[in-house]
Structure 1
Amino acid sequence: MGGNATTDVVDEGFTRFSEEHAQGQLIPRIVDVALARAEEVVAADGAARLRGADLLVRAARVREAVLAHHAAPGAVAQDLPVAVLRGHDVGAVAAVVGVIAAGHPVVVLDPTTPAARLRHYVQAAGATLCVSDADRRSTAAQVADTVVDPDGSAPAGADHLAAAAALLGTTAAPDDVAVIVYTSGSTGAPKGVACDHRSILHDTWVNSEGTGAYGAGSVVAHLLPMAFSAGTTPTLAGLLAGARLELFDPRRRPVTDLPGFLADVGADVLLASPAILRGLVTALGPAGRLDGLRTVTMAGETVHGAELAAVRRVVGPDCVLRNRYGSTETWLMTEYAIGGDDEAPEGATPVGWAVPGARLQVELEDGALADTGSGRIVLTSRWLGARYWRNPAKTAEVFTDNPDGSRSFRTSDVGTLGADGCLRLLGRRDHSVKIRGLLVEPGEVDALLFAQPEVREALVVGRENPRTGRTGLVAYVVPEGPRPQASAIRATVRENLPSHMVPEHVVFLDALPRTERGKLDRSLLPEPPRSSAPFEIPRSSWEEVVHEQFCAVLELDDVSVHDDFFELGGDSLAAEALVSRIEALGDAQVSTRGGTSLLAQAPTVASFAAAVRSTTRSARPTLVPLRPEGHDRPLFLVAGAGGAALALRTLARRIAPGIPVLGLQANGLENRALPDWSVERIARRHVATVREQQPTGPYRLAGHSLGGLVALEMAHQLRRAGQEVELLAVLDSFPPDPALMPVPQYPSTLAKVKEGLSLALTGVKAHAGLGHYVRFFRQGNFLQRRYTTDVYDGRTLVLVAADDVDAPARRQWGPHLSGPFEVVPVPGEHMSILREPRVGLVADLLSQWLRPEVVDLRDPSPAPGHAHR
């Protein structure tokens, strides 16, 4: 495009903006386009419309006012920046042009920023003059020595040709500073970045014509504050490329006005932050659409695939979505463009490939530069003309002048460069933390959490624990809908990332704090509460022992004796490990006191330590109240082979409110007694327990794995006793057909004999560690391979873990059921369907069947076709 662009004359009468223009100056090009569009609108803000002629006249008046106070030769003018304090309006556009035309660097101030902060910018820049308007004059007077207000529409008959000549009266060199933009301060104190004409011209070409985002004749909806680099670019690019700027200030107007605004102005280009786009999608609702847009650009923070998919839905297939990455020091660096036929990526969206004229590399830990791999991002280009204003030492720290005339800039961002040159951001270099001696990029955890449907936004940071001096991760989460459990958030991370990346704390917020420019403001993140209960250290030697085991099992450095084991992320496997650890100390026979069920009732260090020392043997050690509260008929949940009923606790707590949930587990599992050696005997024992709790039906039974077969046999026995069974729910169980069940393989005859001897000792002889549970697991598998029964004609729900290797066999329940039933595949594997985040769907389906008035059975009759899906 750039090679012959100077001869490419567009219909408006000026040459198409090209890379060749970057060799010149800003003002001559702006004047050329404004003259060609003298009677056409070049910028509008809802209250005023600025034609090309008006721009020239109003900019010339600003130039005149500046020179009246700062008349100086070019070299001196370069040391006298001029501030502009206005709203997001056409007057600001004219003021920026006028100050640059006077030969002075312009510092655009954001009117929503407190005066004290603005004064810091002005003083750091060395500016004494501020161009403002009537509405902001009093604030301007607080930040600058002199305030001028050359505002007002062009007087009737004003000569825009004379104004154009005046604007061209002060010459500038391509490497003169045109704009000073202050960074966000996310990596320290805000720094003024001085940008010359060449770099701005090249960046505006890249942003518009160079990437094909927009050009002459485009109508650009400009929502980004002009005080920041992301807003400076489109302000100048629109004037340089011949587009029309339609200014919308989302900080003064509600986002709900934006769809109507876009339609009214006929915008075909939308420049917005991801936060604004999220609000726009919400404002449109599920059926809302935006017609006419052909480009949407976003930048400033991580954009996730789910967000892109939501934006795609409202803009349609003809619009290109552009995820961009840049910095104040470099302007635009990369772009990831997604057309209508492209699928949105999963997780964090890449920021894409280097823009024309730029080269990306990563700095490795040893300081070497590489074209692929992960490390600190380095950009090299011959168009980098920025420097830190009045700070050569800081400039030298990150900018390098190369022998070939190019410059390199070492960013503060960490990313991964693929072999194809595509860049993925991992986070800020200064946000990396070491957890247990291992380097962690919190952005990886952010991306995982953001991908969860119950999370709208997430930000993970490292925080030092003031009690231990060690650093841990804290996840700040904005829920999408009802607030999830903190343990569910940690469980999601644990299932997908290494244990050292699991957040110690989860803090739920209504919204993530942001700066005035819409960026995440980490300084306003609240400190995490260290516990849901007052912190207290162990008060006895026995509590000290139990406390140590809690910390070891949960992989936490410290917990209060009042912290809930399950709120801290403990699950049934961790509970079994805790019981085994306590027993291994030889000081307490926890399993004889119903270890894991006891933990369900006494989940803190203090309560569990006391309970283990004082609890006597339960009359019904096979019964575990998982959620005893509720006035409805209870649901009896049978645990699988070798599984404590506590493994069903998460599922129980997600069942519809009002329904008590009582767990059943194998005799001898936690009371060191002889086990039952047939499914029928297990069922007979459980039926006796059930009828103690609920003497008459109708009964609700469910079971997981072997527990599903036990629940089936319980249903048969209850019905033979004349009782009604309202529901049987089978959770990922093999049907009662031994031919469908895996046959154990032994490496040798000796191994088979040892296995038989081990089974014979189940529940009789103690076994170190988790071996006790493993024996019951193997014994349960032995029993289920020997169980068959009659066809069951009661109402039955069968849930099958769709991702498990045994799913095909576990679906084969049809020949064994003759009543109304449904076989439903659910995402997950055999055990993961009992844990977050999979357990929610299982609980919802089970709850629907427990409330038959809201269940839509596809075939409520047992006649020829049963309901499957």
Structure 2
Amino acid sequence: MNDQSLFAALRAAFPANLDSVAIETADGPAGQPFTPQHYTWRDLERGTAMLANLLAGLALPPASRIAVQVDKSVEALMLYLAVLRAGHVFLPLNTAYQAAEIEYFIGNAEPAVVVCTPKNFAWVSRLAFSSGVGHVFTLGDDRSGSLLERASHCSDQHKPVPKQADELAAILYTSGTTGRSKGAMLSHGNLLSNARTLQSYWGWRSAREGGDVLIHALPIFHVHGLFVASHGALLNGSRMIWFNRFDPAAVIARLPEATVFMGVPTLYVRLLADARLDRDACRTMRLFIAGSAPLLAETFHAWEQRTGHTILERYGMSETVMLTSNPYHAVEGERRAGTVGFPLPGVSVRVIDPARPGQPLPAGEIGGIEVKGPSVFAGYWRMPEKTQEEFTADESGDRWFKTGDVGRFDERGYLTIVGRSKDLIISGGYNVYPAEIEGFINEMPGVAESAVVGLPHPDFGEGVIAVIVPKPGATLDPAAVVGALKGCIANFKVPKQVFVVPELPRNAMGKVQKNLLREQHQGLFAR
């Protein structure tokens, strides 16, 4: 059998010298004395083998789901690799999820094994065992827990289980802002094809070219940190400087040892707030990548001015991994603020008029974004009806995934994400795209960021409101904001009310949770 597994490809990319450093820790468990740990490629080989042998000893059915909700650590990354190595399916769970959410995920995915933090063992194990889960282990970010204790007695020799490209590798549950979370099923082929595309498109350097060093400061329960960042370094045989938690000062101190950094926009804003960030600190860096949430043009330009580097913004989803990217090489075009660049090689992206399914819109017009390509998932776990609903087939038989995002192409082919289709506001029969209004508000003096949402309105169906965060020391007048907007956009788009708040609610990846804003102000116009 020709092994097409993701693990086999990652393992084949390990450097010839297995005793060179693969991962160096840059921090440790909170509140504990820190001593840097250096993990060699041989450590990754032996550690994943021992964990895979532990799973093999449980006599699990093939392709069992392994649900994991643990704090970030190198051992947690090894567990992910070991699950792939053992031929099972990895199910990462956000560390912020609470009991009711975990109960749903366990009930829906029916994992054979659950791994949680030692502090959560009592309640997680109770939920797991009551749902028929056979095994519950613990794993702490200080290398404690029953998982490593059991694995320490296992052999460090293991033959990886071969897989075909279309076999399931991971299930990622979407955030579930509208209804129950859905489990996106990603295959070995989905993940490996995307990793290889990004390795080439983003110019990952081989050892002969001087190599790359990645600062890894993202969570690993999500596409960005677990797949894009980790796969990028592993597939390139590149060293990682590993942060369990993001600390701006600590990251800046390690930048001169690195060449690549990936972050959500919030991380870039926090780095810019530290005066130690300058061109000298970034002298060895070749690439800064942003994603998972929109990057403000102000942050884009401030970063360029301070560091001399232009952030590369890209676009992807849990269901598709990465889809588009601003260019890496200058000959392919400049990196444009407010855009997510061009479709990646092998990926097709189109903007569709919802009233005319299958008919792409011309440049400049806003519509629903649909995609197809080798990284697009097969469907949602145990939701065939939802899967069918989210895909559309052309007369040619091509299968396009309806992303739920709204956007437009410009004349040069750059894609701009305008918002989510569920965030579209229909006020008085007119379509209002929040991102357009947010763009105007964010350019106003004293504004740090904004979020625009629609609320039920007795006359207009939905009424537009804006929630704004001021810059430090700035004072914003809601009436003045409304007055300024009336001079730049149509009146039906102007917010009927503006709120000034200290911060916007965000999830763990930095995305603004507009559903919480809608809930908070739900009865505004009814009153």
- Structure 2 partner of 1:329: 319
Alignment correspondent of 1:434: 426
**1:503-518 equivalent positions in 2, closer than 5 A:** 503-518=495-510
- In structure 2, relative to structure 1, the CA distance for the partners of 1:173 and 1:450 (3 Å cut) is same
- Report the CA distance between 1:374 and its aligned residue: 2.2
Q: CA offset at residue 198 of structure 1? A: 0.6
Q: What per-residue deviation string (whole Å, max 9, x for no partner) do you get for residues 175-216 of structure 1? A: 110011111223442211110011100111223323325666
Deviations 1:404-436 (A, max 9, x none): 786421110111122332111111111111222
Task: Give 1:511 shift.
Answer: 0.8
What letter matches 2:10 in structure 1? Answer: I
Shift of 1:343: 7.8
Deviations 1:819-843 (A, max 9, x none): xxxxxxxxxxxxxxxxxxxxxxxxx
Residues 126-205 of structure 1 aligned to structure 2 (within 5 Å): 126-132=110-116, 134=118, 137-138=121-122, 140-145=124-129, 146-148=135-137, 149-151=146-148, 163=157, 166-168=158-160, 170-205=161-196
Does the Cα contact within 8 Å between 1:384 and 1:406 map onto a contact in 2? no
* Amino acid corresponding to residue 40 of structure 1 in structure 2: S
Compared CA separation, residues 442 and 376, structure 1 to 2 (3 A): same
- In the other structure, the counterpart of 1:68 is 57
The answer to whether structure 1 residue 474 and structure 2 residue 471 are counterparts is no
Alignment match, 2:32: none
Q: 2:221 aligns with which of 227, 252, 265?
A: 227
Separation of aligned partners in 2, 1:401 and 1:70: 41
1:255 corresponds to: 248
Secondary structure in 2 matching 1:193: strand
Flag the structure with higher strand content: 2
Alpha-carbon separation, structure 2, partners of 1:220 and 1:256: 17
* 2:348 alignment partner, one of 344, 356, 359: 359
Q: Give yes or no for contact 1:86–1:136 (8 Å, CA) kept in 2.
A: no
Displacement of 1:88? 1.5
1:25 corresponding residue in structure 2: 5
Give per-residue Cα distances to partners, 1:383-416, cap 9 Å, x unaligned: 4343211111111112346787864211101111
Give the letter for the 1:457 counterpart.
E
Greater CA deviation, 498-507 or 211-220? 211-220
Q: Which amino acid in 1 is paired with 2:147?
A: P
The code of the aligned residue for 1:67 comes to A
Aligned to 2:23: 43
1:67 Cα deviation after fit: 2.0
1:452 — aligned with what? 444
Question: Secondary structure of 1:516's partner?
Answer: coil
Provide closer, same or farther for how the CA distance between residues 110 and 510 of structure 1 changes in structure 2, counting only shifts above 3 A. same
**In 2, Cα distance between equivalents of 1:99 and 1:359:** 31
Relative distance call for 1:409 and 1:445 in structure 2 (3 A) is: same
Residue 36 of structure 1 deviates from its aligned partner by: 2.5
SS in 2 for 1:235: helix
Please name the residue that 2:94 is paired with. 110
- Looking at structure 1, the residues matched to 243 and 280 of structure 2 have their Cα atoms a distance apart, in angstroms, of 19
Alignment of 1:226-245 (within 5 A): 226-233=220-227, 234-245=229-240
Distance 2:280 2:444 in 1: 25
Paired with 2:159 and 2:72, the residues of 1 have a C-alpha distance of 23
How far apart are residue 497 of structure 1 and its match? 0.5
For residues 281 and 384 of structure 2, what CA distance do their matches in structure 1 show? Answer: 47
C-alpha distance in 2, partners of 1:155/1:421?
53
Is 2:334 the partner of 1:350? no
Paired letter, 2:503: A
Among all aligned residue pairs of Structure 1 and Structure 2, give the percentage whose two residues are the same amino acid: 24
TM-score (norm 2): 0.85
Q: CA offsets per residue over residues 711-743 of structure 1, 9 Å max, x none? A: xxxxxxxxxxxxxxxxxxxxxxxxxxxxxxxxx
> Where do 1:783-798 residues align within 5 Å?
none
* Conserved? CA contact 2:437–2:493, under 8 Å: yes
**Aligned equivalents of 1:469, 1:494: Cα separation in 2:** 18
Unaligned runs of 5+ in 1: 1-21, 532-556, 561-869
- Name 2:141's counterpart in structure 1: none
Matches of 2:397 and 2:3, distance apart in 1: 14
Task: State the partner residue of 2:70.
Answer: 86
Judged with a 3 Å threshold, the aligned counterparts in structure 2 of structure 1 residues 154 and 289 are, in CA distance, closer, same or farther, namely: farther
Q: CA deviation at 1:66?
A: 1.5
> Cα–Cα, structure 1 residues 283 and 40, in superposed 2: closer, same or farther, change >3 Å?
same
Note the alpha carbon deviations across 1:471-508, whole angstroms, 9 max, x for none. Answer: 21110000113221111111221111111111111111
Shift, 1:69, TM fit: 2.1
Q: Is the 8 A contact 1:83 1:106 kept in 2?
A: yes
* Greater share of helix: 1
Displacement of 1:269 in angstroms is 0.6
Q: Is the 1:320–1:340 Cα contact (8 Å) retained in structure 2?
A: no
Q: 1:137 to 1:57 in 2, by over 3 A?
A: farther
Structure 1 match to 2:29: none
Partner SS state of residue 141, structure 1: helix
Do the aligned residues in 1 keep the contact of 2:450 with 2:466 (CA within 8 Å)? yes
Larger Rg belongs to: 1
Letter in 2 for 1:476: V
- TM-score, normalised relative to structure 1: 0.53
* Aligned residue type for 1:191: K
Which structure has more relative contact order (CA 8 Å, sep 6+)? It is 2
Alpha-carbon offset, residue 522 of structure 1 = 1.7
Residues in 1 aligned to 2:316 and 2:237: alpha-carbon distance in whole angstroms: 23
Whichever residue aligns with residue 236 of structure 2, its letter is A
SS of 2:440's partner is helix
Between the two proteins, the alignment pairs up a number of residues equal to: 493
Q: Find the residue that maps to 1:57 and give its secondary structure.
A: helix
Cα distance in 2 for partners of 1:139, 1:212 equals 45
**What's the secondary structure of 2:107's corresponding residue?**
helix
Contact 2:217 2:243 survives alignment (8 Å): yes
Maintained 8 Å contact 1:34/1:53? no
- Structure 2 unaligned runs (5+)? 27-35, 130-134, 138-145
Cα distance in 1 between the residues matched to 2:174 and 2:523: 34
Given the alignment of the two structures, is residue 368 of structure 1 paired with residue 351 of structure 2, yes or no?
A: no
- Match for residue 282 of structure 1? 273
